[in-house]
Amino acid sequence: MSSRYEEVYQRSLQDPEGFWAEAAEDVRWDKRWDTVLDRSNPPFYRWFVGGELNTCFNAVDRHVEEGRGGQLALVYDSPVTDTVRRYDFRELQEQVARFAGVLKNLGVGKGDRVIIYMPMIPEAVIAMLGCTRIGAVHSVVFGGFAPHELATRIDDARPKAIVSASCGIEVTRVIEYKPLLDEAIRQAKHKPEACVIVQRPQRPCELTPGRDTEWGEAMAASTPQPCVPVAATDPCYILYTSGTTGQPKGVVRDTGGHVVALKWSMRNHYGVEPGEVFWAASDIGWVVGHSYIVYAPLFHGCTTILFEGKPVGTPDAGVFWRVIQDHGVAALFTAPTAFRAIKRDDPDGKLVGRYDLSRFRTLFLAGERSDTDTVKWAERVLQKPVLDHYWQTETGWPIIGNCVGLGQLPVKYGSPTKAVPGYDVRVVNDQNEEAARGEIGAINIRLPLPPGCLPTLWNADDRFVAAYLEEYPGYYKTADAGYMDEDGYLYVMARTDDIINVAGHRLSTGAMEEVLSQHPDVAECAVVGVHDDLKGQIPVGFIVLKAGVNRPEDEIIAEVVQMVREQIGAVASFRVATVVERLPKTRSGKILRGTISKIADGESYREPATIDDPAILGEIEEALKRLGYARESA
């Protein structure tokens, strides 16, 4: 079909109030808004002022009320526990209403905060929806976070209650959550009044008398609660951005814009219809889990998948294809790092052929740059469209993407395509002027941001302005760098702090990674800038090889160095690379390039709270020492 993208995009910029008022008609309101967009107090813009609605009603109750209570709403698939549980909308409604009663029994009401510190189990989703049902504000903290990091979030959000579980389950280990939770509460200045604990049979825990209640007992003693309308401008949740240390940065999501934007995105961006199955292979601790495991699919009346496992090792690199087959998934959204892991373990994609993927239509990638080699590999083995897109915790839904529901645009490898309707994306230079097409600059969004984006930070309006709005007046700063081509396609090259200066030349480490990933033996890679006395900075490459590669490492390194020289030029000064077993990443799959740079330069660094496996940093330090760096690393 021909694309309606340009027509829809232009209308969204020329008449944002009319555009989003029309989208809001697809949402169930308790009270219609008075003003679509309140511009009276810039830069604090507010959407749907005067309107009232309930998030949980739009996610669950409306579908029961509209006659689809028997449709599957949530499928929990856990290869690590060999469990599958299914909930239709009526069953989910009953469980959520009852958990809302648990919260009420604990004294939690409208506007109170609840921290959710849980693994990927259905009770986590039920807890999130239970909070929104009574107007409480939830803050999900990634299960297994270190006590100090959890304590800082407790002190910032000041929750009345915390919902947790006895343990989380990884591929090869069980992580006891309760000792971490107890230590965090001990460290925190603010003490929650109550905790509700899911006892998992793999590792039950001891409850603290007078404070802790077991989930099942609390549910049995509760009375189901109705939905409580809240203002469209009231907060739905607080989500602390990954990697925050010291003073946390709590992104606030308001209620009205959140429901409207996410509901709109399901059909128009992801191209799925009510009743279809949508799977975001992420975690509820991240924004992807909030937006596209829990809220958006349920707002749209889709079936959503809650997956407790990994792309490899549970039990093999075919688990994604098994889930797609077993549950009839129409669209999958995951991070490129997941597909690099699958490609590493199954380079020829042989496992795909074991499963029936006939109902599967589209693969969406986001969370980090999607290198061309991985995208082409996925296209080849799946024979389906593979679409990169780009967004942030702060925006809550896609900024740049290929809007399938408006008619898919041609794919350009290396680009997540064009700005999504609602976002006025510009590439600007240091003088806050639009950069020429093809010129690298800061990727910014003209204010006001569309619905669903953060209106501010939790109890920190000044920090919101300083962090996102001051440097480029009139814009929201993404802190990413890139360029726009002549056709309006955007290329996100790196975080602005990943643009390195080599002998006066501003170069993108992302562009070099794109070249390295094209080598047939490379599974994944990272390029970081390290200090050089002569040139200021030089790039250093880290390469993880595909399974089964037995060639000499020196040969492979020489080849990738030559590839960068040929495709980017001698100006890149790319001469140093090393092979490593694995790269340090956050639990959401983002490579910790900044930490690698600090190790290389001998700077002190703090172990990132979100790191997947801290032992990898020692391996990186040893690799850098072999290259002659990290001599005085902290």
DSSP string, 545-566: EPTT--S-HHHHHHHHHHHHHH
Residue 355 belongs to a domain? no
Averaged pLDDT, 531-541: 81
Are 420 and 547 members of one domain? no
3-state secondary structure of 577: strand
* Closest-CA residue to 440 (of 485, 481, 382): 481
Q: What is the pTM of this model?
A: 0.84
Residue 330 belongs to a domain? no
10-26: pLDDT as tens digits: 999 999 999 999 999 99
| C-alpha–C-alpha distance, residues 415 and 426, integer Å | 15
Averaged pLDDT, 189-201: 97
The enclosing domain of 272 has a CATH number of: 3.40.50.12780
Are 114 and 178 members of one domain? yes
Give the per-residue pLDDT at 630.
61
* Residue 351: φ, ψ to 5°: -70, -20
Q: Which residues contact 128 (CB under 8 A, 6 or more apart)?
A: 116, 138, 140, 237, 284, 290, 294
**Cβ–Cβ < 8 Å for 437, 483:** yes
Query: Is residue 506's pLDDT more than 80?
Result: no
Are 303 and 395 members of one domain? yes
Query: Is residue 511's pLDDT more than 80?
Result: no
The domain tally of the chain equals 2
Are 96 and 170 members of one domain? yes
Average pLDDT of every residue of the chain: 92
Residue 383 belongs to a domain? no
**Cβ–Cβ < 8 Å for 419, 440:** no
Query: In which domain, by residue range, is 467 found?
Result: 5-309+389-482
The enclosing domain of 577 has a CATH number of: 3.30.300.30
Query: Is residue 593's pLDDT more than 90?
Result: no
**Cβ–Cβ < 8 Å for 139, 238:** yes
b/e map 67-100, b = 16+ CB within 10 Å = ebbebbbbbbbbbbeeeeeebbbbbbbebbbbbb
| Cα separations in angstroms, 549 against 34, 344, 544, 556, 582 | 63, 10, 10, 10, 15
81-137: pLDDT as tens digits: 999 999 999 999 999 999 999 999 999 999 999 999 999 999 999 999 999 999 999
| Better-scored residue on pLDDT, 68 or 624 | 68
Residue 327 belongs to a domain? no
| Cα separations in angstroms, 516 against 90, 244, 423, 506, 613 | 50, 30, 32, 19, 24
Are 567 and 422 members of one domain? no
Are 14 and 145 members of one domain? yes
Averaged pLDDT, 583-607: 82
Residue 144 belongs to a domain? yes
Give the per-residue pLDDT at 244.
38
Residue ending a domain, choose from 429, 451, 482: 482
Residue 191 belongs to a domain? yes
Are 462 and 540 members of one domain? no
**Cβ–Cβ < 8 Å for 398, 374:** no
Here the tokens at position 391 are: 């967004």
| C-alpha–C-alpha distance, residues 267 and 397, integer Å | 13
455-494: pLDDT as tens digits: 999 999 999 999 999 999 999 999 898 999 999 999 998 6
